[in-house]
Amino acid sequence: MKQIYFLIIVLAGTILTGCGIGGGGNNGEVTGVKQRSFRATTPLNMVYIKGGTFLMGQTDQDVTFAQTSQTKQVTVPPFFMDETEISNSKYKQFVFWVRDSIAITNYLNDPKYYMQPRKGAAADPNGRKFINWKYVASNPVFSTRGKNAAANASKLQGLYYQGDDRVFDRNEIDVRMLKYNYALFTLREASNFRNDKTKKRSDFILRDTVGVYPDTLVWLNDFSYAANEPMVEGYFSHPAYRNYPVVGVTWRQARAFTAWRTRLSDGAKDARKIPHNLPYALPNDAEFEYAARGGRIGTDYPWGGPYIKNAKGCLMANFKPGRGNYTDDGGAYTVNVRSYFPNDFGLYNMAGNVAEWTSSAYDESASTFVHDLAPTFNYEAKASDPEVLKRKVVRGGSWKDIGYFLQNSTRTFEYQDTAKSYIGFRCVTQYLGRDIKDKR
């Protein structure tokens, strides 16, 4: 009997120990999971936009009688935003990344361009291979010099235009082959169907394949009987335009850029074993207007207004002055992304230069049904949807627009699969935590 009693006591002690009562160094208290501390830092070439409330919508006369900008007081949480439009140089980094990835994985098949497992480490169970971008930087894929140059050149011939498509027998990349595959969660749709037991996780993953090279022919397509051939030939490729805003990109291409930029940032943070930022994205309609206003109340333009010239008579943005004196503001077409003075948030060209894609779908009555906290209206248009559902909000006005389209409250639209010589974009990423300047 004593043996049985002792056995019961031993078992009870084992159970109590297994439950962690009085053990684990926490004195039986809930102490939370240990995690690294996180302090939000401003990404390179972005500015911090403190959250706040503002009156969104028309502040001046509606000269086009569009009647689509009813005013509404809304609140926007804090976020980071690119201080300039995405330049040709920055977008070209995306294009070259896609180009080199395709060249390495589909043509070279050279193990030196891949990460090698550490000695004794197990190989990837799924057979995945990861490109060693440090090696790529020191051994460029398309270099004409170095020990790999001759071998690479012969393997890469399939990436170039062939036969009659060649000009003067030059090796030129067939840009139709530069496609980027990516995946995103459609969280709004997942929320809408959260109680539908027939849905799977994969139903809410958007997978897209996008050609990444800009449509350089927009400089001719957008204008009849205009001698814009030099812009076609040099705007994206020539270094003279490296710091000019990229154009000729569709909304889908702009979103693909944000997905790539997120992966680029996450990879760098993984290497340093630090937490990720939230994903990069296009600004939504409200974020763009709030940022354009620069904290000013009831003003017409990012610099204030109501005039489009300063006290010295200088134009404050790149647009179409008067009846078409394009050069009066300093540029016949686009200008450097850091031209003119930034607004009070430190953002350049929130009006003029190029109009900009937003993440929001366009609906004339959106202001009447969107929420007043972090408002936006999104719709993921399918290929089979009518064209009216493929409209995306475009903000800011451009180098070819009259002054009305430069107003903070003016919103227009363009179709998500169209590219224009006057539409570019910039990115945002959400700020994690409370406002930086909130001392409470």
Query: Cα separation of 103 and 158, whole Å?
Result: 9
Query: Cα separation of 83 and 427, whole Å?
Result: 9
Q: What is the pLDDT at residue 62?
A: 56
8 A C-beta contact, residue 429 and residue 278: yes
Query: Cα separation of 196 and 137, whole Å?
Result: 48
Q: Which CATH architecture has domain 46-87+213-430?
A: Alpha-Beta Complex (3.90)
Q: What is the pLDDT at residue 8?
A: 43
HSE-CB at 183 with a 13 A cutoff on CA atoms is 6
8 A C-beta contact, residue 416 and residue 379: no
Query: Cα separation of 250 and 423, whole Å?
Result: 9
Query: Cα separation of 200 and 75, whole Å?
Result: 34
Q: Where does residue 421 fall: left (phi above 0), alpha (psi -120 to 50 degrees), or beta otherwise? A: alpha
Which two tokens mark 308? 């489009």
- Domain coordinates in residue numbering, the chain: 46-87+213-430
| Residue linked to tokens 């809410």 | 204
8 A C-beta contact, residue 260 and residue 180: yes
Which DSSP string corresponds to 124-151? PTT----B-HHHHHHS-TT-SSSTTHHH
Q: What is the pLDDT at residue 248?
A: 98
Which residue, among 314, 295, 316, 313, has the nearest Cα to 305 in the 3D structure?
316
Alpha-helical regions (H) of 148-284? 149-155, 187-192, 218-221, 229-234, 251-272
Question: CA angle, 309 as apex, 308 and 310 as ends, to 5°?
Answer: 130
Q: What is the pLDDT at residue 149?
A: 85
Which DSSP string corresponds to 360-411? EEP-TTHHHHS-SBS--------TTS-GGGGEEEEES--TTS-GGGGSTT-E
Which residue, among 257, 254, 274, has the nearest Cα to 266 in the 3D structure?
274
Which two tokens mark 261? 């930029």
Which residue, among 214, 358, 218, has the nearest Cα to 285 in the 3D structure?
358
Q: In a structure prediction context, what are the per-residue pLDDT tens digits for the chain, which is 440 residues long?
A: 445 444 444 444 444 444 445 455 678 899 898 888 888 889 999 999 999 999 998 765 555 555 566 789 999 999 999 999 999 999 999 999 999 999 999 999 899 999 988 877 777 888 888 999 999 999 999 988 877 788 899 999 999 999 999 999 999 999 999 999 999 999 999 999 999 999 999 999 999 999 999 999 999 999 999 999 999 999 999 999 999 999 999 999 999 999 999 999 999 999 999 999 999 999 999 999 999 999 999 899 999 988 999 988 999 999 999 999 999 999 999 999 999 999 999 999 999 999 999 999 999 889 889 999 999 999 999 989 999 999 999 999 999 999 999 999 999 999 999 999 999 999 999 998 766 565 44
Query: Cα separation of 82 and 345, whole Å?
Result: 11
Q: What is the pLDDT at residue 101?
A: 97
